[in-house]
Structures are given as C-alpha cells and as structure tokens.
Chains A and B, each alone.
Chain A
Amino acid sequence: QLQLQESGPGLVKPSETLSLTCTVSGGSISSNLYYWGWVRQPPGKGLEWIGNIYYSGTTYYNPSLESRVTIFVDTSKNQFSLRLSSVTAADTAVYYCARLIVGADLYGMDVWGQGTTVTVSS
C-alpha cells in the first residue's frame, strides 16, 4: 500500500527558506501515471495547490508562488522535495504531499501524507 510521509523543520525564521521532503513507500515514484505534488493549508483556511513534479523532473507551479518555489525529485531515494524561499508568517500552514494519478479510470490526488505543520516565526 502506497504511503507518503512529509519531513522537515517545524519552525522556520522569516526571510529564510522552508525545506520539506516527502518519502514515498510501498511503490515507485518513477511511473508515467503519476505526478507528485505539494498542497498547503493555513490555519483555519482552505487548500492551496503549491506545485507538482513528474518523475522526469518536469515541474508545474502555482503562479502565485512560482517565484519562490522549487520542487525536485530524487528517484534513487523515492523522494520529492519542496523549497519555499523568503518565507513570511503568511506561509505558516500544514503542508501535505500527495500523489496525483492521471489515468483514464481514476484521476485526482488519491494518496496523501498526513501533513506537517510549518510555523514561520522568529
């Protein structure tokens, strides 16, 4: 059974770079059926898509965050990672990693990590 697990610092200082990693277990990250993505949720607010990456390394970002976001993949470790630079308090959120399946029979973010809380504060 595929599982995703986020990891990284829970506290980041303003203006610094947030770095998170998602480890994929129970399946390979290298499949042409999937994208791998990051979604965040500020306290008490809705879901915001951050970006997706294909196993080849091709990335797609939310235009509102594109200037500050980098997502990269390490297929040898079955991991993909998020970096968000120049963070402010507005970046405080629960960050989720998720699998986006793009099949004819099933389409959507069907597997999610449990989420990790990141607080931006000095």
Chain B
Amino acid sequence: DIVMTQSPDSLAVSLGERATINCKSSQSVLYSSNNKNYLAWYQQKPGQPPKLLIYWASIRGSGVPDRFSGSGSGTDFTFTISSLQAEDVAVYYCQEYYSTPALTFGGGTKVEIK
C-alpha cells in the first residue's frame, strides 16, 4: 500500500505571502506509460466537504484560482499558494490515485493566517 506523508502538519502565513506544503509518497506515483503523476490536491474548509483543486499533480481544476499550483514528480510533490488570501484558510490534503480505484490521502496540512 502507498503511504502519503504530508509536511508540515500546520503552517501560519501572513496575508499575501506564500504557503508551501510538501507531500511524499512511499513509492512512485508516476505512471510510465503516460508520464503522468497520479496525484491530486484537495482543499477542505471547516464544515464543508473536500474540494478537488489539482489533479495530475499540476493541473488546476475548473475555476480554481491561479494562485494555487502543484509541482513535483515521482515521490515528491509540492502544493503552493502564491499569495495567501483570507478565504484560503483550510486544511489541504494530497491524494494518490496510482492504485485506482484504491486511494490514499495524506494526513492533511492546516493553513492559517499569521
């Protein structure tokens, strides 16, 4: 089974500053036949279900602001909010779907305003 490890558990960032979250998988989620990384990022605000923000490690979902971005390949991935807005306060999760339809989430990273 693939284990997803996120860091840090939480971070506090000033408004307008950059927030960076790391996600490491216990094995590569890069599928060699199509050269795609089977990794997604979700945002969960308090009292709401998660929202899919990024898939294929770096593709933003429809309507997702471009201040959100994802990068990385293989086993190491990064999620970045380039300029933190008040409405970005949430918990962010990475998820591998290399094992689809089996899935694994990371432990989550709470983003707060400093």
Contact = CB atoms under 8 A, between A and B. Distances in A.
Interface string B60-72: 0100000000000
A12 interface: no
Interface stretch (A13-21, A24-32, A74-82, A106-114): A106-114
A52 B40 contact: no
A47 interface: yes
A112 B45 CA distance: 13
A72 interface: no
A62 B102 contact: yes
Interface stretch (B15-23, B50-58, B73-81, B82-90): B50-58
B102 A107 contact: no
Interface in A36-72: 37, 39, 46-49, 52, 54, 60, 62-63
Interface residues of A, number: 25
B63 to A, nearest CB: 12
A102 B55 CA distance: 11
Interface in B5-50: 38, 40, 42, 44, 48-50
B100 A46 contact: no
Nearest to A61: B102
A113 B49 contact: yes
14 contacts: A46-B106, A47-B50, A47-B105, A52-B103, A60-B101, A100-B97, A100-B101, A107-B40, A107-B56, A108-B61, A108-B95, A109-B52, A110-B52, A112-B50
List 4 tightest A-B contacts by C-beta distance, closest first: A112-B49, A108-B40, A52-B101, A46-B108
Given A106-B55, A107-B56, 16 more contacts: A37-B101, A39-B50, A46-B93, A46-B107, A52-B103, A54-B101, A98-B49, A100-B103, A102-B100, A107-B38, A107-B40, A108-B40, A109-B42, A109-B103, A112-B49, A114-B48
